Each structure stands twice: as C-alpha cells, then as structure tokens.
Amino acid sequence: MIKKPCISNYSVYKLKGKRIFVRADLNDPVNEKGELIGDMRIRATLPTIGYLIGAGAKVILASHMGRPKDKEPKYSLCNVKKYLSKTSPFRVHFVPSWGDEVKDTLKLLRDGEVLLLQNLRFHPGEKSNDEEFAKFLASLADIYIFEAFGTAHREHASVVSVPKYLPSMLGFLTEKEINTINKLIEQAKKPFLFVLGGKKVSDKIKLFERLIEKAQTICIGGAMACTFIKAIGYPVGKSFYEEDAVSVAKTIMKKADEIGCKILLPEDFMVAKTISENTETKYVFREEIPSDMQVVDIGPKTFEIYKKEISSANTILWNGPMGIYEIPKFSWGSKSIALAIAMSKAIKICGGGDTAEVLNSSNLISHFDHVSTGGGAFLKFLEGSDLPAIKSISDIE
C-alpha cells in the first residue's frame, strides 16, 4: 500500500474552515468554442471535492487544460465553472485571471464553497516550475491535496513545488490509481494479458522490459505494430514506423521468447490510400501491404486471434488504440477490442487518454474495473519509474 499521507486517513474534523488547495486534473476534451465534449476527469475528481465541501472546507480548485499557446480562450476554465455550477450542489466562484483578484475573491469564500482558478498554463510560471509562482499558489491555502494523477510525471510548479510549502497529501482518486496499478503489477491473476497500441515503440521500451516479465501474452496494435512488422522482415508501405526502433523491437521479441512471454503481432490490417474518411481502403495480410498504402487499423483475422486471448485471460491491461480511431472508418478494430475486453470475465484495467476515449465513445467505461485518468503518468508508473508529483509529497513517518 502507498506510504504517503492520504485524505482518506485525515480526520474530517480537522478540515472545517481550512483552505484546501486541490491540484486536480480537469483536462477533459473541448471543442473549438471551449465547450466540454467529455467529463471523465472532472467526474473522477468530484468525490474528493464533495468530501471537502461536506467537511466545511474552503476549496481552491486548480487545473490545467490543453496545451494553450499564450491564452487561447477555448482553454479557459470558465466552461468547467459552468459545468460544475450546473451539475454540483455547491457554489463555485471563478477567477478568470491571475493577480490580486485571486486573493480578493478568496477573502469572500465561505466554508463549503469552491474557488476555481484560471487555467494554470495561462501563467508562464506553471510549466517553468517557477518558485515564486509556487509560493503564490501555496499562500492561498493551509493544506495541499494532489488529485491530478494524469500530471504526476510533470515537474510543474503546482505539481512538485507547492508541496514544499504546505502540509500535503493525496486525494481519493490518486490513492486509488496508485494502489490499483501496484496491485495489478504485483498480484495479477494469471493468465495476464497486455493489449498495447499507440504510435511509438521507443516511448515504451521500459514498459516492455517490465511487462514481458509479468505478462503471459502481449497483443500489439496501432502504428507501433508496423515497427514490429518491419522487424520480422515485411514491408509496411507508406505506414509510419520507427526505423531507429526496428532493432529494439527485435530485441524485445527475442527477450520475450527467452522469458516465455508470447508477443502476438497483427496477421492482417486495414490499409488506406490517405488518412481521411472517404479514402479507398481494403484488408490485406501483413506480408501484402501495398507500397502506396498505409496501415490504419487491425484486420478481422487479427481481431479473432486477439479475442481468443482476451477470452482466456484472467487479468487484462489495455493501453493504446488499435488504429486511427478518431476517423470512424478506421475505428472498427479499437471498438471491437474494447467490446471484447468489456465482455470478458477478467479483471480489466485501461489507461491512456486515447484508450479511455474509445471506451467513452462506446459507452463501455462502466464495464472496466478501473479506467486510469493518466496517460504518460500511467505508463511511467507501470514502468516502475518514480513520479515527481508523488515523490514531492513526504512519506508517512
């Protein structure tokens, strides 16, 4: 179990009237107008916010959204304020800028109310991990709660520097994320199946090294499959692949074979002329990818092979879509894998923003035992790497 202070172990009676800085992850997708088109991360944070409000605390709620260039209006948290005001029983105040207005509004905050700050990335000190900005944020509160697991791998001011100046602890969601992933890796019920998609092999070398020692089978899809296909000697047409990682893929497969972990690669693919909904497509076997086409999804034979592995597994971890799921024509493989995993009797855990979006668009999230709110943080933690945000909070003595 985690050896960090957690809100679950903190006396509720000590919270009344306290100013609690909650570093949350409210980074749900928005359209060009800034309107929310998803709410998974916001909803995941509500248990901690609700608990603090119920205890009579004053909640200072902070988050980033997107990767804004300067201060793009669509990434303002004003739409999160509208969402919370509409769906939550507590009162939410919002400060649209950084400066004296923040402290002036905080003075008016009553017990059981929320002050939502503007997008942290609208301030240059956030990403640069500026010490003065961290001190300013810390000056707003009495206690710090980290509840943004998706940013736990970032060394940003609100993530790693604010805890230096305040008593700090983890929220319900972050505690659950860490305990669930730890339990998965250390106590996974066999057979343990890892379904891995996404783009780059090079981003997941450490992950492969760890999981081939834990999993019995790894099913590979997404663009990274092309690097592996290239490694076994087949051409991949115009498909994206990492030339520098072909030797890495060979090493991974060799080591997996020595350990006894089975790595399955797609037997067939959907290929397309261009990346667009109206393009020409067809299914081909992996040794027949045309030189003028590119891989956009797994094929039906591959799905049947992977489905068989899914049905016989007792623990399944899924990270990364099987193809370019954002385009409906190329989403069949990802959605079919999602449904197959959802219908299995295994313990099912999913991580990564794209993978969660596949589940969300298919209304399958409720069928999974745990859907992580983390992308990069989820992968780093699976690798066994230290997460700066977690490290910045002192251990329980």
Last residue of a domain, one of 123, 149, 173: 173
The count of C-alpha atoms lying within 13 angstroms of the C-alpha of 5, restricted to the half-sphere facing its C-beta, is 16
Q: CA distances (Å), 330 to each of 280, 282, 294, 393, in order?
A: 11, 11, 12, 43
Give CA–CA dist 242/240, Å, rounded: 7
- Ordered per-residue pLDDT tens for the chain, 397 residues: 678 999 999 988 899 999 999 999 999 989 988 899 889 899 999 999 999 999 999 999 999 999 998 889 999 999 999 999 999 999 999 999 988 899 999 999 999 999 999 999 999 999 999 999 999 999 999 999 999 999 999 999 999 999 999 999 999 999 999 999 888 888 889 999 999 998 889 888 889 999 999 999 999 999 999 999 999 999 999 999 999 999 999 999 999 999 999 999 999 999 999 999 999 999 999 999 999 999 999 999 999 999 999 999 999 999 999 999 999 999 999 999 999 999 999 999 999 888 988 998 899 999 999 999 888 899 899 888 899 999 999 887 6
- Pick the catalytic residue from 353, 374, 375, 380: 353
168 and 195 part of one domain: no
Residue 396's pLDDT is what? Answer: 75
When divided into structural domains, the chain yields a total of: 2
Task: Tell which residue, 165, 169, 135, 156, has the closest CA to residue 52.
Answer: 169
Last residue of a domain, one of 111, 143, 173: 173
Look up 56 and say whether it is catalytic.
no
Contact yes or no for 148/389 (Cβ under 8 A): yes
Residue 264's pLDDT is what? Answer: 98
Q: CA distances (Å), 59 to each of 144, 345, 358, in order?
A: 10, 40, 32
266 and 312 part of one domain: yes
Contacts of 135 (CB under 8 A, 6+ apart): 165
Last residue of a domain, one of 150, 173, 196: 173
Residue 275's pLDDT is what? Answer: 94
Residue 154 falls within a domain, yes or no?
Answer: yes
Contact yes or no for 371/348 (Cβ under 8 A): no
CATH number, position 299: 3.40.50.1260
72 and 117 part of one domain: yes
Contact yes or no for 178/384 (Cβ under 8 A): no
276 and 352 part of one domain: yes
14 and 65 part of one domain: yes
Residue 336's pLDDT is what? Answer: 98
Look up 82 and say whether it is catalytic.
no
- Pick the catalytic residue from 41, 121, 154, 199: 41
Residue 251 falls within a domain, yes or no?
Answer: yes
- Pick the catalytic residue from 200, 206, 250, 301: 200
Residue 392 falls within a domain, yes or no?
Answer: no
Look up 376 and say whether it is catalytic.
yes
Residue 397's pLDDT is what? Answer: 65
Residue 1's pLDDT is what? Answer: 64
Look up 200 and say whether it is catalytic.
yes
161 and 293 part of one domain: no
Q: Kindly tell me the burial class for residue 396, based on how many C-beta atoms sit within 10 Å of its own C-beta (0-12, 13-18, 19 or more).
A: exposed
Residue 394 falls within a domain, yes or no?
Answer: no
Task: Please list the residues that pair with 194 across neighbouring strands.
Answer: 218, 317
One-letter amino acid for residue 194 of the chain: F
What percent of the residues of the chain are helix, what percent strand, and what percent coil, each to the nearest 5?
Answer: 45, 15, 40
Residue 60's pLDDT is what? Answer: 98
The count of C-alpha atoms lying within 13 angstroms of the C-alpha of 100, restricted to the half-sphere facing its C-beta, is 0
Write out the residue range of the structural domain in which residue 140 sits. 7-173
| Token couple for 227 | 């690097």
154 and 237 part of one domain: no
| Token couple for 197 | 């998609």
Residue 191 falls within a domain, yes or no?
Answer: yes
DSSP annotation of 278 reads T
Residue 150 falls within a domain, yes or no?
Answer: yes
Residue 230 falls within a domain, yes or no?
Answer: yes
346 and 242 part of one domain: yes
369 and 279 part of one domain: yes
277 and 330 part of one domain: yes
Residue 294 falls within a domain, yes or no?
Answer: yes
pLDDT digits (tens, 9 = 90+) for 65-77: 999 988 899 999 9
Chain-centroid distance of CA 387 in Å reads 14
262 and 326 part of one domain: yes
Q: Any idea which residue has 């009553």 for tokens?
A: 110
56 and 205 part of one domain: no
Give CA–CA dist 50/326, Å, rounded: 34
